[in-house]
Amino acid sequence: MNRFNWTYIADNGTRHHVGLMHGPRSGHLLVYYNSKIIIIDFQILENKTYSFFIEDELCELSIERKKNQFYYGFTPNIKADTPLNRSRKKKKRKELYQSLAVLGSFMIIVLIASFAIYSFNRDFSNPSLKSQLLSMGKETHARILMAEEGNEKKVQYFFVVEGKPYTVETPFTEGETPILLDTGMPLHVGDEFTVRYLPGNPLLHNIAYDQPSKGTLEAYRERAIQTFRKSY
């Protein structure tokens, strides 16, 4: 008579003892957990699997015959569509979203800190223009766009002052690798950044890539979350 037993610990910490007795010649089988008999079967001389519940957990007990030997296994079925497994998946999704939210918040804090440092240290190439922009300049947001010139795609940005649009070409050209700003963030079409301009001549302006709009900060967060999801 073959005898095997296992200990199953439920999610609430309760311990259950599962055991079987199997006659290798007759094939008669008895399965129990704790002091309760749950399966009686006869002439089990080939492979067979039994399913039963312990509390809310769907469990499987398997009998496998290899040559003249029997092998026994017991395991919870965590993939079956049961209320407990659905609850586990829901909990895992919630924990994942919480982790993503923490990661996203951390990324935003790091980005804001980086932008503050870059903004503090920013220096315009023209001291006179810098002085005028700081004293008389006004701010708006410029949006990144892409313009095709021959075989090249050049990055531009445009902004609107008093209903008049202004389009400015940047030194960036789209290539096989992402365009990285000094802040370390990749540049995307649609990103928006602060532009400080002179009201009398908006072409005299400065775009601050270290001062993205709130919408672009949120886009940074979403891109970080998507990158995190793809890595798992």
Of 52, 79, 106, the residue at which a domain comes to its end is 79
Neighbours of 171 (CB within 10 A): 6
Of 79, 102, 137, the residue at which a domain comes to its end is 79
Residues 216 and 167 occupy one common structural domain: yes
Euclidean distance between CA atoms 219 and 190, whole angstroms: 10
Helix (H, G, I), strand (E, B) or coil at 185: coil
Q: At residue 130, what is the residue type? A: K
Angle at 214 between CA 218 and CA 196, to 5 degrees: 140
Contact between residue 32 and residue 13 where contact means Cβ atoms under 8 Å apart:
no
Look up the CATH number of the domain holding residue 34: 2.40.128.180
pLDDT of the residue at 115: 54
Residues 199 and 170 occupy one common structural domain: yes
Q: Which residue has the higher pLDDT, 173 or 192?
A: 192
Residues 100 and 214 occupy one common structural domain: yes
What is the percentage of the chain residues whose pLDDT exceeds 90? 43
Residues 10 and 97 occupy one common structural domain: no
Of 79, 111, 146, the residue at which a domain comes to its end is 79
pLDDT classification of 6: cutoffs 50, 70, 90: very high
Residues 75 and 93 occupy one common structural domain: no
pTM, two decimal places: 0.45
pLDDT tens across 128-137, in order? 777 888 888 9
Structural domains of the chain, count: 2
Look up residue 43 and give its DSSP letter: -
Structural domain span for residue 179: 86-230
pLDDT of the residue at 171: 82
Mean pLDDT of the residues in the chain: 85
